[in-house]
Structure 1
Amino acid sequence: MLRPIFKLIFRMMGWRIEGEPPTNLDKYVITVGPHTSNWDFVMGVMVRSITRMKVKYLAKQELFVFPFGWFFRALGGYPVNRTKNTNMVDNVVAIFEHHQRFAIAVTPEGTRKKVQKLKTGFYYIADKAKVPIVMAGLDYKNKCAIFSDPFFPQGDIESDLRKIIGFYSNVTGKIPAYGIGGNELVLPGKAQSQ
């Protein structure tokens, strides 16, 4: 319904799409970055609509109650319990196991602020659910949404995260100083999970 409007706005803003959106995959985790501004959500919703991707995003379940619950669901939100007594990775893996088609979008930084290391939950979700990771970049400098080829986690998180950081190293966020590709990022040890 909004797709033609989003396409028009996207074009009028001078944006384009590079790479193949993962519309042929039934299940995947898509990382979207660098996440530096609230505008990333707006751009992401437009790109998702334009490319016809059926992608959800995770949000705390408290957002999905009256009166705004319908709004967050309409935008692709999927409620999750984020209390300390739950294991987010296992909860999301269970969602993948109970659906024929399911995809979630996550920001590897987990925040719009500058970070010293990436969150790794998305990696462990993909690894345990045995689904590929697709990287999507919102490059404000070059006005393009970029998609990588899908890849499956190889079990070597440091090597895989280097690949992810490498993809984002040439993608400029809305606030360039908060990008992912900086050399100061600390790679987690193989046993660490966030």
Structure 2
Amino acid sequence: MDKRVVVYKVMRTVLAPLFYVLFQPKIIGAGNIPKNGAAVIAGNHKHALDPILVDISTRRTVRTLAKKDLHDSAFGWFFRSSGTIPVDLHAKHNPEALRAAKEALRDGELVNVSPEAKRNYTDELLLPFKYGAAVMAEDTGAPLVPYAIAGKYKPFGGLTIIFGKPFKATGDAEKTNRKLYNSIAALLKRVMPKEELESKKITSFEEWSSRNEKTS
């Protein structure tokens, strides 16, 4: 067995029980994650612990795209040994990260991506999506599994993750990204506490695209 997989499984065995006891997360639709074969798992990003919540939702090994700063930090050994794929958030393009992610998918692995690219501290339901997840699915034929995380990382409950039905890329990265955005938004609306949802701005994919065109 790959050394990286062994380290990942050991870490998850140690962290999962602690995570469950502390946060008691509600996990919905985990059966939508394929039991074998490649898939791009993509969802919103609200907290640094999001990848662990995704990891404990499946028994399979998950390759998560993580910011390069973490790989270069004092705890870089932890991220490198658990198989995360470094992404430079300061760069306009990340060809090496995209290449590594597509290689993992072609090897039949699960790759976890946050299309928002950063944590959402705003009052928007979702930030505008980058195209990495859509391009990975388009180029490899791997299905996309949308997910949404709602609630708070507080002790003893209130945290939920929901996984939607897998879907195939459309053959057009723009359309695939729009479908992914709308799927995650719909999942968030299902599980986000009512008072929190009512405080959010719900910006459509088309509105974000229009804003980006005006500022580019």
In 2: Cα distance, 1:9 partner to 1:94 partner: 30
Q: Once superposed, what is the RMSD of the aligned Cα atoms?
A: 3.7
Correspondence 1:184 to 2:210: no
1:101 to 90, 97, 108: 108
- Structure 1: which 4+ aligned runs deviate by more than 6 Å? none
Residues 90-169 of structure 1 aligned to structure 2 (within 5 Å)? 91-92=99-100, 94-96=102-104, 99-112=106-119, 113-114=121-122, 116-140=127-151, 143-154=159-170, 155=172, 156-157=175-176, 158-169=178-189
Does 2:178 match 1:170?
no
Q: Which amino acid aligns with 1:103?
A: L
The normalised TM-score by structure 1 is 0.70
Q: CA separation of 1:117/1:85 partners in 2, compared to 1, >3 Å: closer, same or farther?
A: closer
| More helix per residue | 2
The answer on whether the counterparts of 1:92 and 1:125 sit within 8 Å (CA) in structure 2 is no
Q: Percent identity?
A: 22
Give the Cα separation in 2 of the matches to 1:47 and 1:94.
Answer: 19
SS of aligned partner of 1:51: coil
- What are structure 1's unaligned runs of at least 5 residues? none
The equivalent position to 1:14 in structure 2, one of 16, 20, 24, is 24
Count of matched residue pairs: 183
SS of 2:36's partner is coil
Distance 2:148 2:201 in 1: 15
The answer as to whether partners of 1:89 and 1:121 remain within 8 angstroms in 2 is no
